Amino acid sequence: MHCIVMAGGSGTRFWPYSRVSKPKQILKIVGSNTMLQMTVDRLIKCKKTEAVYISTRMDLVNAIKKDIIGVLPGNIIAEPSGKNTAPSIGLSALKIANIDGEAVMGIFPADHLVVGHRVFEKALNQAARVAIEKEGLVTIGIHPTFPSVAYGYIQFDPESKVGKMDVFPVRTFAEKPHLNAAKRFVNSGDFLWNAGMFIWKVDVFMDQLGKHMPDLRSQLAKIGKRIKARKSFKDIWSDLEPESIDYGLMEKADNIFVV
């Protein structure tokens, strides 16, 4: 699996400790390492990880190169400007596609605290297996412990378990709800928190973009040609519409699974 760590956020919700020039992912919040370094280390420990990449803003590249251990300089993917998660993931997919067009790629936020590495690695292995065998888009869900209004939710079909794995088809994605809806979700037993972690084959992801976000897919094709020609793509990038991967793709696609 080619693992992409999303580290381009500005950390506004962690202000004033977090600043645009030093967002929470490069702060030492828990323990002696930054959240980003902890995420990189966690992924490197996974046996099926082929390489780790960091997707970030152009202005954070030097700080990341200086402070982060375990990621090659060439594996830092710099966005010319922030365009939300869909264009960011699309740019990373171009990078992986140039290596192996049918590779499995995983998307991981840089600011998660994960306790229990064995459970985490098992979930990733199952997700990768489903991504290959079902050619689906796979996400990682977290069992909610309280009715949070700060997270999106994933409704799964508990009656359609995939084999003997802890994997289920996704029924719906729900945006961050109001409190009463969050209470209903938690009490129902078939909703999970959306962790923002995704696993899929690069070619499957690109095909789904073509179906549900055709403008972005078309622009990414142009960017890919510029990259191969070693030319700047800032002009194309500046014309992209900012869009989240949840709203732009995951809420519209079919053949989605959750671990």
pLDDT tens by residue, 209-245: 999 999 999 999 999 999 999 999 999 999 999 999 9
| CATH number of the structural domain 2-258 | 3.90.550.10
Give the pLDDT of residue 144.
Answer: 96
Give the pLDDT of residue 70.
Answer: 94
pLDDT over 60 (residue 16) = no
Dihedral angle, C-alpha 128, 129, 134, 139, nearest 10 °: -40
Which among 253, 173, 242, 157 is positioned nearest to 208, based on CA atoms?
253
**Per-residue pLDDT band at 249 (split at 50, 70, 90):** very high
Domain boundaries, the chain: 2-258
Give the pLDDT of residue 197.
Answer: 97
Residue with the bigger pLDDT between 8 and 11: it is 8
pLDDT digits (tens, 9 = 90+) for 45-74: 999 999 999 999 998 999 899 889 999 999
pTM reported for the whole predicted model:
0.91
Q: Kindly give the residue spans of alpha helices, DSSP state H, lying in 177-251.
A: 179-188, 202-212, 214-228, 234-238, 245
Helices 202-212 and 214-228 cross at an angle (nearest 10°) of 130
Average pLDDT over residues 81-109: 97
Three-state DSSP at 232 gives coil
**Per-residue pLDDT band at 113 (split at 50, 70, 90):** confident
* CA 158 to chain CA mean position, Å: 24
Give the pLDDT of residue 116.
Answer: 87
Average pLDDT, the chain: 92
pLDDT over 60 (residue 10) = no
> Which residue's structure tokens are 């079902």?
134
Question: Averaging pLDDT over each range in 2-11, 27-36, 89-98, which range is the top one?
Answer: 89-98
pLDDT over 60 (residue 162) = yes
- DSSP character string of 122-169: HHHHHHHHHHHHT--EEEEEE--SS--SSS-EEEE-TT---TTSS-EE
Pairing mode of beta strands 137-142, 256-258? parallel
Cα within 13 Å of Cα(252), Cβ side: 14
Give the pLDDT of residue 235.
Answer: 97
